[in-house]
C-alpha cells in the first residue's frame, strides 16, 4: 500500500485546494476515470472522525465549497489528475485520508488551521486636521 502525506497552514473558512494522485501498479502511470464509487474519504478534526460527505465537485466552483463536504473530481483536460477541495470551519488540526482501495493507495494530507488574527484594539486613534 502506498501512502503519500503532506501538510499545510490555513485560516478558518479558507478553501483547501489540492490535488490527489493515484498511480497504476508501475508507480508512474496515472489512473484515469476514478469516480466517487472508486474512492472513499475520512476527515479528522483534532483526531476525531468527522461525518463529512465525499461529493462530486465537477460543477462546484471554489466560492461554493461548503463545510461538511469533501469535493473531488477529475480535472478536465488532465486525465488522472484529481481536484480535491474542502473548507475547514474550525481552528485546529485537520487530516484528510482519501483511499483508492482497488489500487491499494491512500493520499493523506494534514492541515493546521488557525483563526483569523484579532484586529488590534489600541487606545490610540489617528486624526487628520
Alpha carbons 46 and 94: distance in angstroms, whole number? 6
Residue 45: give the domain boundaries.
Answer: 2-114
Q: Give the alpha-carbon dihedral of 14, 78, 81, 18, to 10 degrees.
A: -10
Alpha carbons 7 and 85: distance in angstroms, whole number? 14
What's the burial of 20, exposed, middle or buried (CB within 10 Å: 0-12/13-18/19+)?
buried
What's the burial of 43, exposed, middle or buried (CB within 10 Å: 0-12/13-18/19+)?
buried
Q: Identify the weakest region by mean pLDDT among 70-74, 94-98, 104-108, 125-129.
A: 125-129
What's the CATH code of the domain at 47?
A: 2.60.40.10
124 inside domain: no
6 inside domain: yes
For the stretch 14-48, pLDDT in tens is 999 999 999 999 889 999 999 999 999 999 999 99
Amino acid at each position: 500500500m502506498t501512502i503519500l502525506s503532506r501538510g499545510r497552514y490555513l485560516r478558518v473558512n479558507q478553501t483547501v485546494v489540492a490535488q490527489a494522485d493515484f498511480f497504476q501498479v508501475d508507480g508512474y502511470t496515472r489512473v484515469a476515470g476514478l469516480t466517487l464509487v472508486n474512492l472513499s474519504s475520512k476527515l479528522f478534526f483534532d483526531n476525531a472522525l468527522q461525518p463529512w460527505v465525499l461529493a462530486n465537485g465537477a460543477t462546484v466552483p471554489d466560492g461554493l465549497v461548503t463545510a461538511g463536504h469533501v469535493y473531488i473530481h477529475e480535472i478536465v483536460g488532465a486525465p488522472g489528475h484529481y481536484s480535491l477541495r474542502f473548507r475547514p470551519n474550525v481552528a485546529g488540526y485537520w487530516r484528510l485520508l482519501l483511499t483508492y482501495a482497488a489500487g491499494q493507495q491512500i493520499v493523506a494530507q494534514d492541515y493546521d488551521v488557525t483563526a483569523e488574527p484579532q484586529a488590534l484594539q489600541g487606545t490610540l486613534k489617528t486624526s487628520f486636521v
